[in-house]
Structure 1
Amino acid sequence: MRLPESRVVLTGASGGIGLELTKLLCAAGAQVLAIGRERGKLAGLMDRYPGCLRWQGADLRTAEGREQIIDQAREMGGVNVLINAAGVNRFALLDQLDEFALDELLDINLKAPLQLTRACLPLLRAQPKSLVVNVGSTYGSIGYPGYATYCASKFALRGFSEALRRELADTPVNVLYVAPRATRTRMNSSAATALNQALKVGMDDPADVAKAVLEAMQSERSELYLGWPEKLFVRINGMLPGVVDRALRKQLPVILRYIGSHSKESIK
Protein backbone atom coordinates (compact mmCIF):
# COMPACT_ATOMS: atom_id res chain seq x y z
CA MET A 1 0.00 0.00 0.00
CA ARG A 2 1.52 3.30 -1.14
CA LEU A 3 0.71 5.95 1.45
CA PRO A 4 0.65 8.99 -0.91
CA GLU A 5 -2.06 7.19 -2.92
CA SER A 6 -4.12 6.29 0.16
CA ARG A 7 -7.55 7.66 1.00
CA VAL A 8 -8.00 6.69 4.63
CA VAL A 9 -10.95 6.49 6.99
CA LEU A 10 -9.44 6.45 10.49
CA THR A 11 -11.54 6.01 13.63
CA GLY A 12 -10.25 6.99 17.05
CA ALA A 13 -8.27 9.79 15.38
CA SER A 14 -8.17 12.01 18.47
CA GLY A 15 -6.78 9.24 20.71
CA GLY A 16 -3.19 8.28 21.43
CA ILE A 17 -2.38 5.85 18.62
CA GLY A 18 -4.99 7.35 16.29
CA LEU A 19 -3.59 10.87 16.60
CA GLU A 20 -0.08 9.65 15.84
CA LEU A 21 -1.37 7.69 12.84
CA THR A 22 -3.08 10.84 11.59
CA LYS A 23 0.17 12.81 11.83
CA LEU A 24 2.20 10.20 9.96
CA LEU A 25 -0.42 9.59 7.27
CA CYS A 26 -0.78 13.30 6.52
CA ALA A 27 2.98 13.77 6.48
CA ALA A 28 3.20 10.95 3.92
CA GLY A 29 0.65 12.64 1.67
CA ALA A 30 -2.38 10.44 2.37
CA GLN A 31 -5.93 11.81 2.31
CA VAL A 32 -7.39 11.23 5.79
CA LEU A 33 -10.98 11.33 7.01
CA ALA A 34 -10.40 11.50 10.76
CA ILE A 35 -13.24 10.20 12.95
CA GLY A 36 -12.86 11.36 16.54
CA ARG A 37 -14.72 12.87 19.47
CA GLU A 38 -12.36 15.82 19.99
CA ARG A 39 -11.87 18.07 16.98
CA GLY A 40 -9.63 20.36 19.02
CA LYS A 41 -6.88 17.77 19.18
CA LEU A 42 -6.81 17.68 15.37
CA ALA A 43 -7.10 21.43 14.79
CA GLY A 44 -3.36 22.02 14.49
CA LEU A 45 -2.99 19.18 12.00
CA MET A 46 -5.95 20.43 9.98
CA ASP A 47 -4.25 23.84 9.71
CA ARG A 48 -0.96 22.20 8.73
CA TYR A 49 -2.47 19.78 6.19
CA PRO A 50 -5.61 21.50 4.86
CA GLY A 51 -5.49 19.51 1.64
CA CYS A 52 -5.06 16.15 3.35
CA LEU A 53 -7.12 16.10 6.52
CA ARG A 54 -10.81 16.44 7.26
CA TRP A 55 -12.66 15.67 10.50
CA GLN A 56 -15.98 13.94 11.15
CA GLY A 57 -17.49 13.66 14.63
CA ALA A 58 -19.78 10.69 13.90
CA ASP A 59 -21.05 8.24 16.52
CA LEU A 60 -19.70 4.86 15.43
CA ARG A 61 -22.34 3.05 17.46
CA THR A 62 -25.25 4.23 15.34
CA ALA A 63 -26.29 3.50 11.78
CA GLU A 64 -26.72 7.25 11.22
CA GLY A 65 -23.18 7.95 12.39
CA ARG A 66 -21.72 5.29 10.14
CA GLU A 67 -23.73 6.57 7.17
CA GLN A 68 -22.25 10.03 7.75
CA ILE A 69 -18.80 8.47 7.47
CA ILE A 70 -19.68 6.70 4.22
CA ASP A 71 -21.06 9.94 2.76
CA GLN A 72 -17.86 11.78 3.65
CA ALA A 73 -15.74 8.95 2.22
CA ARG A 74 -17.61 9.22 -1.08
CA GLU A 75 -17.01 12.98 -1.11
CA MET A 76 -13.31 12.24 -0.62
CA GLY A 77 -13.38 10.19 -3.84
CA GLY A 78 -13.73 6.80 -2.20
CA VAL A 79 -11.61 4.96 0.34
CA ASN A 80 -8.86 2.37 -0.04
CA VAL A 81 -7.81 2.14 3.62
CA LEU A 82 -10.06 1.71 6.67
CA ILE A 83 -8.31 1.83 10.04
CA ASN A 84 -10.48 0.78 12.98
CA ALA A 85 -8.51 2.30 15.85
CA ALA A 86 -11.29 3.56 18.14
CA GLY A 87 -11.53 1.69 21.41
CA VAL A 88 -12.48 1.76 25.06
CA ASN A 89 -11.06 -0.12 28.02
CA ARG A 90 -11.93 -0.80 31.64
CA PHE A 91 -9.57 -2.20 34.24
CA ALA A 92 -12.16 -3.91 36.43
CA LEU A 93 -13.45 -7.28 37.52
CA LEU A 94 -16.47 -8.48 35.55
CA ASP A 95 -18.88 -8.03 38.47
CA GLN A 96 -17.68 -4.45 39.00
CA LEU A 97 -19.05 -3.43 35.59
CA ASP A 98 -22.65 -2.40 35.18
CA GLU A 99 -24.69 -3.41 32.15
CA PHE A 100 -24.22 -0.07 30.41
CA ALA A 101 -20.42 -0.12 30.71
CA LEU A 102 -20.20 -3.68 29.42
CA ASP A 103 -22.49 -2.97 26.45
CA GLU A 104 -20.64 0.23 25.59
CA LEU A 105 -17.28 -1.52 25.55
CA LEU A 106 -18.55 -4.23 23.20
CA ASP A 107 -20.38 -1.68 21.04
CA ILE A 108 -17.25 0.41 20.47
CA ASN A 109 -14.56 -2.27 20.41
CA LEU A 110 -16.39 -4.92 18.41
CA LYS A 111 -19.74 -4.02 16.91
CA ALA A 112 -18.64 -0.63 15.55
CA PRO A 113 -15.64 -1.96 13.57
CA LEU A 114 -17.67 -4.87 12.20
CA GLN A 115 -20.51 -2.61 11.12
CA LEU A 116 -18.27 0.10 9.69
CA THR A 117 -16.17 -2.44 7.80
CA ARG A 118 -19.33 -3.98 6.35
CA ALA A 119 -20.54 -0.54 5.27
CA CYS A 120 -17.17 0.34 3.70
CA LEU A 121 -16.70 -2.91 1.78
CA PRO A 122 -18.40 -1.77 -1.45
CA LEU A 123 -16.07 1.25 -1.56
CA LEU A 124 -13.02 -0.85 -0.70
CA ARG A 125 -13.84 -3.51 -3.29
CA ALA A 126 -14.08 -0.83 -5.97
CA GLN A 127 -10.37 0.00 -5.59
CA PRO A 128 -7.48 -1.76 -7.40
CA LYS A 129 -5.97 -2.47 -3.97
CA SER A 130 -7.35 -1.72 -0.51
CA LEU A 131 -6.80 -2.51 3.15
CA VAL A 132 -8.68 -2.90 6.42
CA VAL A 133 -6.56 -2.37 9.55
CA ASN A 134 -8.04 -3.56 12.86
CA VAL A 135 -6.21 -2.34 15.95
CA GLY A 136 -6.49 -5.11 18.53
CA SER A 137 -4.27 -5.92 21.49
CA THR A 138 -1.98 -8.49 23.00
CA TYR A 139 -5.05 -9.11 25.18
CA GLY A 140 -6.74 -10.38 22.05
CA SER A 141 -4.55 -13.47 22.42
CA ILE A 142 -3.99 -13.69 26.19
CA GLY A 143 -6.90 -13.56 28.63
CA TYR A 144 -5.77 -11.35 31.51
CA PRO A 145 -7.41 -10.87 34.94
CA GLY A 146 -9.05 -7.49 35.30
CA TYR A 147 -9.67 -7.21 31.56
CA ALA A 148 -12.18 -10.00 30.88
CA THR A 149 -14.57 -7.84 28.86
CA TYR A 150 -11.80 -6.03 27.00
CA CYS A 151 -10.17 -9.38 26.19
CA ALA A 152 -13.50 -10.72 24.93
CA SER A 153 -13.83 -7.81 22.51
CA LYS A 154 -10.25 -8.08 21.24
CA PHE A 155 -10.30 -11.89 20.93
CA ALA A 156 -13.41 -11.43 18.78
CA LEU A 157 -11.79 -8.67 16.72
CA ARG A 158 -8.80 -10.92 16.05
CA GLY A 159 -11.08 -13.75 14.92
CA PHE A 160 -13.05 -11.34 12.75
CA SER A 161 -9.84 -10.09 11.12
CA GLU A 162 -8.61 -13.59 10.38
CA ALA A 163 -11.93 -14.78 8.97
CA LEU A 164 -12.50 -11.62 6.91
CA ARG A 165 -9.01 -11.87 5.40
CA ARG A 166 -9.83 -15.38 4.21
CA GLU A 167 -13.31 -14.35 3.09
CA LEU A 168 -11.84 -11.59 0.91
CA ALA A 169 -8.91 -13.62 -0.43
CA ASP A 170 -10.21 -13.40 -4.01
CA THR A 171 -10.81 -9.63 -3.83
CA PRO A 172 -8.46 -6.60 -3.82
CA VAL A 173 -9.05 -6.16 -0.05
CA ASN A 174 -6.44 -7.27 2.47
CA VAL A 175 -6.87 -7.27 6.25
CA LEU A 176 -4.14 -6.36 8.75
CA TYR A 177 -4.60 -7.19 12.43
CA VAL A 178 -2.40 -5.14 14.79
CA ALA A 179 -1.78 -6.22 18.39
CA PRO A 180 0.01 -3.56 20.46
CA ARG A 181 1.07 -4.28 24.00
CA ALA A 182 0.46 -1.74 26.78
CA THR A 183 0.75 1.76 25.30
CA ARG A 184 1.00 5.13 27.03
CA THR A 185 -2.44 6.53 26.18
CA ARG A 186 -5.44 7.92 28.05
CA MET A 187 -7.08 4.56 27.60
CA ASN A 188 -5.19 3.38 30.67
CA SER A 189 -6.60 4.38 34.03
CA SER A 190 -4.20 5.47 36.77
CA ALA A 191 -4.74 2.10 38.47
CA ALA A 192 -3.85 0.22 35.29
CA THR A 193 -0.72 2.31 34.81
CA ALA A 194 0.29 1.73 38.43
CA LEU A 195 -0.19 -2.02 37.98
CA ASN A 196 1.98 -2.02 34.85
CA GLN A 197 4.70 -0.20 36.78
CA ALA A 198 4.46 -2.59 39.73
CA LEU A 199 4.72 -5.63 37.41
CA LYS A 200 7.43 -3.92 35.31
CA VAL A 201 5.30 -4.23 32.18
CA GLY A 202 6.79 -2.41 29.21
CA MET A 203 4.68 0.42 27.79
CA ASP A 204 5.22 1.71 24.26
CA ASP A 205 4.97 5.27 23.02
CA PRO A 206 1.97 5.77 20.70
CA ALA A 207 4.25 7.30 18.07
CA ASP A 208 6.32 4.11 17.93
CA VAL A 209 3.18 1.99 17.58
CA ALA A 210 1.88 4.22 14.78
CA LYS A 211 5.19 4.01 12.93
CA ALA A 212 5.14 0.21 13.15
CA VAL A 213 1.55 0.11 11.86
CA LEU A 214 2.41 2.21 8.80
CA GLU A 215 5.44 0.04 8.06
CA ALA A 216 3.21 -3.06 8.25
CA MET A 217 0.71 -1.42 5.89
CA GLN A 218 3.40 -0.58 3.36
CA SER A 219 4.90 -4.07 3.48
CA GLU A 220 1.42 -5.63 3.08
CA ARG A 221 1.59 -7.74 6.22
CA SER A 222 -1.46 -9.51 7.56
CA GLU A 223 -0.53 -9.48 11.27
CA LEU A 224 1.62 -7.31 13.51
CA TYR A 225 2.36 -8.14 17.15
CA LEU A 226 4.35 -5.60 19.15
CA GLY A 227 6.53 -5.95 22.23
CA TRP A 228 8.88 -8.44 23.81
CA PRO A 229 8.30 -10.68 25.77
CA GLU A 230 4.60 -10.20 24.98
CA LYS A 231 4.97 -11.81 21.54
CA LEU A 232 6.55 -14.85 23.21
CA PHE A 233 3.73 -15.07 25.78
CA VAL A 234 1.19 -15.07 22.94
CA ARG A 235 2.87 -18.12 21.43
CA ILE A 236 3.18 -19.90 24.78
CA ASN A 237 -0.47 -19.18 25.60
CA GLY A 238 -1.50 -20.65 22.27
CA MET A 239 0.44 -23.87 22.80
CA LEU A 240 0.61 -24.26 26.60
CA PRO A 241 -2.14 -22.17 28.22
CA GLY A 242 -1.67 -23.95 31.55
CA VAL A 243 1.80 -22.44 31.85
CA VAL A 244 0.33 -18.96 31.50
CA ASP A 245 -2.51 -19.86 33.91
CA ARG A 246 0.03 -20.61 36.61
CA ALA A 247 2.10 -17.49 35.90
CA LEU A 248 -0.93 -15.20 36.07
CA ARG A 249 -2.23 -16.94 39.19
CA LYS A 250 0.90 -15.70 40.95
CA GLN A 251 0.19 -12.15 39.77
CA LEU A 252 -3.47 -12.21 40.84
CA PRO A 253 -3.01 -10.78 44.37
CA VAL A 254 -1.14 -7.80 42.90
CA ILE A 255 -3.80 -7.30 40.22
CA LEU A 256 -6.60 -7.38 42.80
CA ARG A 257 -4.75 -4.89 44.98
CA TYR A 258 -4.49 -2.35 42.19
CA ILE A 259 -7.88 -2.88 40.64
CA GLY A 260 -9.69 -1.25 43.57
CA SER A 261 -13.42 -0.98 43.88
CA HIS A 262 -13.86 1.50 41.01
CA SER A 263 -12.34 1.53 37.53
CA LYS A 264 -11.97 4.63 35.44
CA GLU A 265 -13.06 4.39 31.84
CA SER A 266 -11.55 6.36 29.03
CA ILE A 267 -12.37 6.32 25.33
CA LYS A 268 -9.89 7.14 22.65
Structure 2
Amino acid sequence: MILQLEGKQIVLTGAAGGIGSLVATRLRAHGARLIGIDRVDCPACDETIIADLSSEQGLASIGDALGARKVDMLVNIAGFQYFGPYERQDQANIWLGYAVNLIAPAALTRAVLPQMIKRKSGHIVNIGSVMGSINYPFFAAYSSAKAGVRGLSEGLRREMAGLGVDVSYIAPRAVRTAFNNAAVMRFMEMTKMHPDDPAFVADRIVQAILKRRKETFIGFRERLFVRLNALFPRLIDAGLAGQTAQGRQLFSSDQ
Protein backbone atom coordinates (compact mmCIF):
# COMPACT_ATOMS: atom_id res chain seq x y z
CA MET A 1 0.00 0.00 0.00
CA ILE A 2 1.35 3.43 -0.99
CA LEU A 3 1.72 5.88 1.89
CA GLN A 4 -0.33 9.07 1.46
CA LEU A 5 1.60 12.21 2.42
CA GLU A 6 -1.01 14.89 1.79
CA GLY A 7 -1.04 17.20 4.82
CA LYS A 8 1.63 15.23 6.68
CA GLN A 9 4.32 17.14 8.54
CA ILE A 10 7.78 15.76 7.84
CA VAL A 11 11.02 16.71 9.59
CA LEU A 12 14.12 16.20 7.44
CA THR A 13 17.67 16.59 8.72
CA GLY A 14 20.39 17.59 6.28
CA ALA A 15 17.70 19.22 4.16
CA ALA A 16 20.08 21.77 2.60
CA GLY A 17 22.38 19.05 1.24
CA GLY A 18 22.63 17.51 -2.18
CA ILE A 19 20.40 14.55 -1.37
CA GLY A 20 18.29 16.17 1.36
CA SER A 21 17.12 19.04 -0.82
CA LEU A 22 16.06 16.66 -3.61
CA VAL A 23 14.20 14.40 -1.19
CA ALA A 24 12.46 17.45 0.32
CA THR A 25 11.30 18.62 -3.11
CA ARG A 26 9.89 15.20 -3.94
CA LEU A 27 8.10 14.79 -0.62
CA ARG A 28 6.55 18.24 -0.97
CA ALA A 29 5.32 17.26 -4.43
CA HIS A 30 3.33 14.52 -2.69
CA GLY A 31 1.59 17.10 -0.53
CA ALA A 32 3.71 16.96 2.63
CA ARG A 33 4.85 19.98 4.62
CA LEU A 34 8.62 19.89 5.08
CA ILE A 35 10.54 21.18 8.08
CA GLY A 36 14.26 21.18 7.27
CA ILE A 37 16.95 20.93 9.92
CA ASP A 38 20.43 22.03 8.93
CA ARG A 39 23.20 24.50 9.71
CA VAL A 40 21.96 26.78 6.92
CA ASP A 41 18.64 27.72 5.31
CA CYS A 42 16.81 24.92 3.47
CA PRO A 43 15.15 26.52 0.42
CA ALA A 44 13.46 23.27 -0.64
CA CYS A 45 11.48 23.15 2.63
CA ASP A 46 8.48 25.06 3.95
CA GLU A 47 10.35 25.90 7.14
CA THR A 48 13.95 25.76 8.33
CA ILE A 49 15.23 25.09 11.83
CA ILE A 50 18.88 26.08 12.14
CA ALA A 51 20.53 23.58 14.46
CA ASP A 52 23.84 22.03 15.47
CA LEU A 53 23.41 18.25 15.38
CA SER A 54 26.97 17.64 16.60
CA SER A 55 26.58 18.95 20.16
CA GLU A 56 24.67 17.64 23.15
CA GLN A 57 23.18 21.08 23.77
CA GLY A 58 22.12 21.45 20.13
CA LEU A 59 20.46 18.04 20.08
CA ALA A 60 18.66 18.72 23.35
CA SER A 61 17.34 22.02 22.01
CA ILE A 62 16.06 20.63 18.72
CA GLY A 63 14.67 17.57 20.51
CA ASP A 64 12.59 19.81 22.78
CA ALA A 65 11.36 21.79 19.78
CA LEU A 66 10.29 18.67 17.87
CA GLY A 67 8.66 17.10 20.90
CA ALA A 68 6.43 20.17 21.25
CA ARG A 69 5.01 19.99 17.71
CA LYS A 70 3.25 17.37 15.63
CA VAL A 71 5.69 15.29 13.59
CA ASP A 72 4.25 12.62 11.31
CA MET A 73 7.59 11.52 9.89
CA LEU A 74 11.25 12.00 10.77
CA VAL A 75 13.79 11.49 7.98
CA ASN A 76 17.40 11.40 9.20
CA ILE A 77 19.66 12.25 6.26
CA ALA A 78 22.29 14.58 7.78
CA GLY A 79 25.72 13.00 7.70
CA PHE A 80 29.44 13.58 8.05
CA GLN A 81 32.14 11.54 6.32
CA TYR A 82 35.84 11.19 7.00
CA PHE A 83 37.96 9.39 4.39
CA GLY A 84 41.52 8.48 5.20
CA PRO A 85 43.78 6.41 7.47
CA TYR A 86 42.13 6.05 10.85
CA GLU A 87 45.32 7.01 12.71
CA ARG A 88 45.19 10.43 11.04
CA GLN A 89 41.64 11.19 12.16
CA ASP A 90 41.75 13.53 15.16
CA GLN A 91 39.56 13.11 18.22
CA ALA A 92 37.29 16.06 17.44
CA ASN A 93 36.67 14.65 13.98
CA ILE A 94 35.80 11.22 15.39
CA TRP A 95 33.31 12.79 17.81
CA LEU A 96 31.74 14.86 15.05
CA GLY A 97 31.20 11.82 12.84
CA TYR A 98 29.53 9.67 15.48
CA ALA A 99 27.47 12.58 16.79
CA VAL A 100 26.01 13.54 13.41
CA ASN A 101 25.76 10.06 11.88
CA LEU A 102 24.51 8.05 14.85
CA ILE A 103 23.77 10.03 18.00
CA ALA A 104 21.65 12.65 16.22
CA PRO A 105 19.27 10.13 14.57
CA ALA A 106 18.96 8.28 17.89
CA ALA A 107 18.30 11.46 19.90
CA LEU A 108 15.78 12.99 17.46
CA THR A 109 13.95 9.69 17.14
CA ARG A 110 13.66 9.59 20.93
CA ALA A 111 12.23 13.11 20.85
CA VAL A 112 9.37 12.37 18.41
CA LEU A 113 8.60 8.76 19.30
CA PRO A 114 6.30 9.38 22.32
CA GLN A 115 3.80 11.39 20.27
CA MET A 116 3.86 8.82 17.44
CA ILE A 117 3.19 5.97 19.87
CA LYS A 118 0.39 7.97 21.49
CA ARG A 119 -1.26 8.58 18.10
CA LYS A 120 -0.45 5.05 16.93
CA SER A 121 0.85 6.63 13.75
CA GLY A 122 4.28 7.71 12.59
CA HIS A 123 7.29 6.87 10.47
CA ILE A 124 11.00 6.99 11.27
CA VAL A 125 13.25 6.92 8.20
CA ASN A 126 16.99 6.50 8.70
CA ILE A 127 19.32 7.00 5.76
CA GLY A 128 22.33 4.79 6.26
CA SER A 129 24.89 3.54 3.77
CA VAL A 130 25.94 0.32 2.11
CA MET A 131 29.15 0.93 4.07
CA GLY A 132 27.15 0.30 7.22
CA SER A 133 26.93 -3.35 6.18
CA ILE A 134 30.19 -3.67 4.23
CA ASN A 135 32.61 -1.87 6.51
CA TYR A 136 35.10 -0.17 4.24
CA PRO A 137 38.82 0.53 4.74
CA PHE A 138 39.62 4.23 5.20
CA PHE A 139 35.96 4.84 6.14
CA ALA A 140 36.15 2.99 9.47
CA ALA A 141 34.43 5.59 11.68
CA TYR A 142 31.78 6.41 9.07
CA SER A 143 31.09 2.73 8.36
CA SER A 144 30.77 1.82 12.02
CA ALA A 145 28.43 4.76 12.69
CA LYS A 146 26.20 3.71 9.80
CA ALA A 147 26.30 0.13 11.08
CA GLY A 148 24.94 1.55 14.32
CA VAL A 149 22.15 3.32 12.43
CA ARG A 150 21.16 0.03 10.85
CA GLY A 151 21.15 -1.65 14.26
CA LEU A 152 19.11 1.18 15.75
CA SER A 153 16.57 0.90 12.94
CA GLU A 154 16.23 -2.86 13.24
CA GLY A 155 15.89 -2.80 17.01
CA LEU A 156 13.30 -0.02 16.92
CA ARG A 157 11.35 -1.72 14.14
CA ARG A 158 10.95 -4.81 16.30
CA GLU A 159 10.12 -2.72 19.37
CA MET A 160 7.45 -0.72 17.50
CA ALA A 161 5.67 -3.79 16.12
CA GLY A 162 1.93 -3.39 16.70
CA LEU A 163 2.25 0.23 17.88
CA GLY A 164 1.50 1.89 14.52
CA VAL A 165 5.00 3.32 14.02
CA ASP A 166 6.96 2.29 10.91
CA VAL A 167 10.76 2.27 10.84
CA SER A 168 12.66 2.28 7.55
CA TYR A 169 16.38 1.92 6.89
CA ILE A 170 17.60 3.00 3.45
CA ALA A 171 21.21 2.46 2.39
CA PRO A 172 22.54 4.27 -0.69
CA ARG A 173 25.89 3.47 -2.26
CA ALA A 174 28.31 6.21 -3.41
CA VAL A 175 26.53 9.32 -4.69
CA ARG A 176 27.91 12.12 -6.86
CA THR A 177 27.59 15.04 -4.43
CA ALA A 178 29.81 17.52 -2.60
CA PHE A 179 29.72 15.04 0.32
CA ASN A 180 32.65 13.36 -1.46
CA ASN A 181 35.83 15.44 -1.34
CA ALA A 182 38.63 15.35 -3.91
CA ALA A 183 40.38 12.44 -2.20
CA VAL A 184 37.22 10.32 -2.26
CA MET A 185 36.74 11.11 -5.94
CA ARG A 186 40.33 10.08 -6.70
CA PHE A 187 39.81 6.84 -4.79
CA MET A 188 36.63 6.08 -6.72
CA GLU A 189 38.44 6.72 -9.99
CA MET A 190 41.33 4.43 -8.97
CA THR A 191 38.98 1.63 -7.91
CA LYS A 192 36.58 2.18 -10.83
CA MET A 193 33.60 3.01 -8.61
CA HIS A 194 30.75 4.77 -10.39
CA PRO A 195 28.77 7.04 -8.05
CA ASP A 196 25.02 7.34 -8.55
CA ASP A 197 23.31 10.48 -9.74
CA PRO A 198 21.74 12.34 -6.77
CA ALA A 199 18.33 12.53 -8.47
CA PHE A 200 18.29 8.75 -8.92
CA VAL A 201 19.09 8.21 -5.24
CA ALA A 202 16.46 10.74 -4.12
CA ASP A 203 13.87 8.93 -6.26
CA ARG A 204 14.76 5.59 -4.69
CA ILE A 205 14.61 7.02 -1.17
CA VAL A 206 11.17 8.53 -1.72
CA GLN A 207 9.93 5.34 -3.39
CA ALA A 208 11.05 3.33 -0.34
CA ILE A 209 9.31 5.81 1.97
CA LEU A 210 6.04 5.70 0.04
CA LYS A 211 6.08 1.90 0.02
CA ARG A 212 7.01 1.78 3.74
CA ARG A 213 9.84 -0.59 3.02
CA LYS A 214 11.54 -1.87 6.13
CA GLU A 215 15.01 -2.05 4.60
CA THR A 216 16.33 -0.91 1.22
CA PHE A 217 19.82 -1.25 -0.26
CA ILE A 218 20.38 0.67 -3.47
CA GLY A 219 22.22 -1.33 -6.14
CA PHE A 220 21.92 -4.99 -7.15
CA ARG A 221 25.62 -5.76 -6.67
CA GLU A 222 25.61 -4.00 -3.33
CA ARG A 223 22.65 -6.06 -2.10
CA LEU A 224 24.54 -9.19 -3.12
CA PHE A 225 27.74 -8.08 -1.39
CA VAL A 226 25.82 -7.20 1.79
CA ARG A 227 24.54 -10.79 1.94
CA LEU A 228 27.97 -12.21 1.16
CA ASN A 229 29.61 -10.05 3.81
CA ALA A 230 27.14 -11.30 6.42
CA LEU A 231 27.77 -14.94 5.49
CA PHE A 232 31.40 -14.95 4.32
CA PRO A 233 33.18 -11.83 5.62
CA ARG A 234 36.66 -13.24 4.90
CA LEU A 235 35.67 -13.55 1.24
CA ILE A 236 34.90 -9.83 1.19
CA ASP A 237 38.21 -9.18 2.97
CA ALA A 238 39.98 -10.76 0.03
CA GLY A 239 37.84 -8.88 -2.46
CA LEU A 240 38.66 -5.52 -0.88
CA ALA A 241 42.40 -6.19 -0.52
CA GLY A 242 43.19 -4.61 -3.87
CA GLN A 243 41.21 -1.46 -3.08
CA THR A 244 42.90 -1.24 0.32
CA ALA A 245 46.31 -1.35 -1.37
CA GLN A 246 45.23 1.39 -3.79
CA GLY A 247 44.03 3.49 -0.87
CA ARG A 248 47.37 3.13 0.91
CA GLN A 249 49.10 4.20 -2.28
CA LEU A 250 46.85 7.24 -2.51
CA PHE A 251 47.60 8.35 1.04
CA SER A 252 51.30 7.54 0.91
CA SER A 253 51.56 10.06 -1.92
CA ASP A 254 50.04 12.69 0.40
CA GLN A 255 52.79 12.39 2.99
Please say whether Structure 1 and Structure 2 have the same fold, judged by a TM-score greater than 0.5: yes
Cα distance change on mapping 1:152 and 1:31 into 2, 3 Å? same
The match for 2:21 is 19
Distance 2:119 2:251 in 1: 46
Shift of 1:126: 3.2
SS at 1:133's partner residue?
strand
Shift of 1:193: 1.1
Distance 1:71 1:23 in 2: 26
Shift of 1:260: 5.3
Amino acid in the other structure paired with 1:193: M
Q: TM-score, normalised by structure 1?
A: 0.88
Shift of 1:232: 1.2
SS at 2:19's partner residue?
helix
1:236 is aligned, of 206, 213, 228, to: 228
Shift of 1:74: 6.3
Shift of 1:59: 1.5
The match for 1:110 is 102
Return the structure number with greater relative CO, CA threshold 8 A, min gap 6: 1
Cα distance change on mapping 1:184 and 1:99 into 2, 3 Å? same
Cα distance change on mapping 1:193 and 1:5 into 2, 3 Å? same
Shift of 1:157: 0.8
The number of equivalent residue pairs is: 253
Distance 2:189 2:28 in 1: 34
What residue ranges of structure 2 are gaps of 5+ in the alignment?
none
In the alignment, is the contact (CA less than 8 A) between 1:136 and 1:158 conserved in 2? yes
Shift of 1:118: 0.6
Superimposed CA distance per residue, residues 185-244 of structure 1 (whole angstroms, 9 cap, x where no aligned partner): 221111111111221212112221111111111111100100131111111111111111
Shift of 1:63: 4.9
Superimposed CA distance per residue, residues 79-101 of structure 1 (whole angstroms, 9 cap, x where no aligned partner): 11000111000111110101111
| Aligned residue runs from structure 1 range 171-210, under 5 A | 171-210=163-202
Distance 1:38 1:204 in 2: 25
What residue ranges of structure 1 are gaps of 5+ in the alignment?
47-52, 263-268
Distance 2:139 2:21 in 1: 24
The match for 2:129 is 137
Q: TM-score, normalised by structure 2?
A: 0.92
In the alignment, is the contact (CA less than 8 A) between 1:146 and 1:259 conserved in 2? no
SS at 1:247's partner residue?
helix
Shift of 1:123: 2.3
Distance 2:113 2:62 in 1: 13
Cα distance change on mapping 1:192 and 1:259 into 2, 3 Å? farther
In percent, how many aligned pairs have the same letter?
37
SS at 1:245's partner residue?
helix
